[in-house]
Amino acid sequence: MNPQLAALFQTLAPFADALLRVAVGLALVPHGLRNTFGFFPNTGVRAQNLTALAKQLDEGGYRPGTFWAFAISITQLVGGPLLALGLFTRPVAAVVLIFLMVANVERWHVGKYFWNQLGLEYTLMWTIAVFFVFVHGGGLYSLDHVIGR
pLDDT for 139: 95
d(CA 37, CA 48): 7
Q: Confirm whether 12 is domain-assigned.
A: no
pTM for this entry? 0.90
Q: Determine, yes or no, domain membership for 2.
A: no
Domain membership of residue 37 (yes or no) is yes
* Separation of alpha carbons 124 and 146, rounded Å: 31
Give the count of domains, the chain: 1
95 domain-assigned:
yes
Q: Is 130 helix (H, G, I), strand (E, B) or coil?
A: helix
- Domain assignment present for residue 27? The answer is yes
Burial of 79 from C-beta contacts in 10 A (0-12 / 13-18 / 19+) = buried
64 preceded by cis ω (within 30°)?
A: yes
- Determine the Cα–Cα distance for residues 33 and 107; give it in Å rounded to an integer: 21
Q: List the chain pLDDT tens, one digit each, 149 residues.
A: 688 899 999 999 999 999 999 999 999 999 999 999 999 988 887 888 999 999 999 998 999 999 999 999 999 999 999 999 999 999 999 999 999 999 999 989 889 999 888 889 999 999 999 999 999 999 999 999 999 87
Alpha-carbon distance of 114 to 121, in angstroms, equals 5
Residue 6 lies in a domain: no
For residue 121, how far is the Cα from the chain centroid? 14
In a domain, 3, yes or no: no
pLDDT of residue 3: 83
- pLDDT per position as a tens digit, 51-65: 999 999 999 899 999
Query: Residue 81: inside a domain, yes or no?
Result: yes
- pLDDT number for residue 134: 98
Phi, psi (degrees; rounded to nearest 5) at 107: -60, -35
Residue range(s) defining the domain that contains residue 39: 17-146
